[in-house]
């Protein structure tokens, strides 16, 4: 018999988080999150996403054994500003039993109907900066710190339960050995001169902080045309600034300014923490933080996390300036592989940015939709 219970206590939240550790215990491709980070993520007093969202967490049990979990999310900003009458689901993990999946999703349907919503979509998080999509290709490739991993049967469960594809995402990788700097070095010089632009580089996190709010404002303007985009609030800006900027090697944050010191482009690249997180296995102490610090300084793989370009400059080759700067620091640090985070398949402008790097699509993922 399957029973579904709502998660309310701290003990239950820890059970919710740790179920994934049990499910993927022997899987070499799953990347364990930090348990402390996940707890903070579900803390209404700490995560600003709760100012615009209502969330319920559920556990599925057979007897006393946990066999699945899911988060049901109502993003009010999305509903009110975009008129998308949608209930989201995320943080979904389950054993290979479609009846468990069905029982968990029924709770999401109930939550959506309580709020008079019209359809359900997932897996996805609170906002556009959270993890997104169920993996549909690339199950034998190691994940990243900012993506979910899942086995192939998730796709089968969703489709048998009447879900259809809503959004398709691709993930790709390229090696620095295939990069010909001539493709952007000359263009970088010409574009700087033509538009009076300047590249901005950093050597410390302290130098970056004054730029972060403007960077997120530009991020909002860069992506507001995408149908799935929900803008980042001021509270979320402050939260992400505090939580993540210090983790990034300052050499891996690049800005481009115009002659009036306005930011017209930015890019954030993070060292790959995948292998370090595997070693940490969810815990910062006693040694987890040392693995992360080592990866921050010495990882030979990097993840292109965020990139934004002012709409007026999106067809003017400004990315050549960014790529020129990254090429210099990547060669200096002996970076081998560059990994791109999930990008909407429909975002052709983004894909065109990488065409000279011979990227290889190594994973696909999607969100699924079902009318209520």
Name the CATH superfamily housing domain 174-362. Gcn5-related N-acetyltransferase (GNAT) (3.40.630.30)
Residue 253 pairs in a beta bridge with: 268
Are 253 and 202 in contact, with CB atoms under 8 Å apart?
yes
The two structure tokens encoding residue 122? 């997932």
For residue 306, the model assigns a pLDDT of 86
Render 306-338 in DSSP notation, one character per residue.
EEEE-GGGTTTTTHHHHHHHHHHHHHHTT--EE
| Positions of the chain with pLDDT lower than 70, given as ranges | 226-228
The residue behind tokens 């033509």 is: 194
Q: Where are the beta strands (DSSP E) in 39-109?
A: 53-62, 65-75, 86-94
Across 317-336, b (16+ Cβ under 10 Å) vs e yields ebbbbbbbbbbebbeebebe
Query: Could you tell me the pTM of the whole model?
Result: 0.92
Residues 6 or more apart whose CB falls under 8 angstroms from that of 235 comprise 48, 51
Q: What is the residue extent of each domain of the chain?
A: 2-171, 174-362
Q: What is the pLDDT of residues 197-233, one digit of tens each?
A: 999 999 888 888 888 888 889 988 888 776 667 778 8
Instruction: Say if 2-171 and 174-362 have the same CATH topology.
Output: yes
Q: How far apart are CA 123 and CA 88, in angstroms?
A: 7
pLDDT given at position 228: 64
Class of domain 2-171: alpha beta
Both structure tokens of 317: 């080759």
Task: Please answer whether residues 242 and 46 qualify as being in contact, where contact means their C-beta atoms are separated by less than 8 angstroms.
Answer: no
d(CA 319, CA 331): 18
| pLDDT given for residue 227 in this prediction | 64
> Cα 232 vs. chain centroid, distance in angstroms?
14
């Amino acid at each position: 018999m399957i029973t579904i219970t709502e998660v309310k206590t701290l003990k239950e939240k820890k059970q919710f988080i740790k179920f994934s550790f049990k499910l993927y215990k022997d899987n070499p491709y799953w990347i364990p999150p930090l348990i402390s980070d996940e707890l903070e993520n579900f803390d209404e007093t700490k995560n600003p996403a709760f100012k615009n969202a209502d969330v319920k967490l559920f556990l599925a049990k057979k007897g006393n054994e946990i066999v699945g979990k899911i988060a049901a999310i109502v993003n009010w900003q999305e509903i009110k500003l975009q008129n998308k009458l949608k209930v989201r689901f995320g943080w979904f993990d389950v054993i290979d039993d479609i009846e468990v999946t069905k029982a968990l999703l029924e709770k999401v349907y109930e939550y959506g109907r309580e709020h008079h919503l019209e359809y359900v979509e997932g897996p996805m998080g609170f906002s556009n900066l959270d993890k997104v999509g169920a993996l549909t290709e690339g199950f034998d490739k190691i994940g990243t710190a900012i993506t979910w991993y899942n086995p192939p049967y998730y796709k089968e469960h969703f489709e048998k339960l009447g879900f259809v594809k809503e959004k398709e995402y691709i993930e790709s990788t390229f090696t620095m050995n295939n990069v010909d700097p001539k493709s952007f070095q000359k263009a970088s010089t010409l574009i700087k001169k033509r538009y009076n632009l300047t590249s901005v580089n950093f050597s410390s996190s302290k130098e970056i902080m004054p730029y972060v709010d403007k960077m997120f404002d530009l991020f909002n303007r860069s992506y507001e045309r995408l149908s799935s985009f929900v803008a980042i609030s001021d509270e979320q800006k402050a939260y992400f600034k505090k939580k993540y900027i210090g983790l990034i090697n300052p050499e891996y944050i690049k800005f481009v300014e115009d002659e009036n010191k306005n930011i017209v482009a930015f890019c954030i690249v993070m060292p790959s923490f995948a292998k370090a997180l595997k070693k940490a296995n969810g815990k910062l102490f006693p040694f987890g933080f040392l693995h992360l610090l080592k990866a921050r300084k010495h990882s030979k793989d990097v993840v292109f996390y965020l990139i934004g370009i002012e709409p007026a400059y999106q067809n003017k080759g400004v990315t050549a300036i960014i790529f020129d700067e990254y090429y210099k620091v990547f060669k200096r640090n002996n970076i081998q592989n560059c990994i791109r985070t999930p990008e909407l398949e429909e975002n052709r402008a983004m894909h065109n940015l990488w065409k000279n790097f011979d990227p290889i699509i190594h994973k696909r993922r999607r969100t699924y939709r079902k009318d209520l």
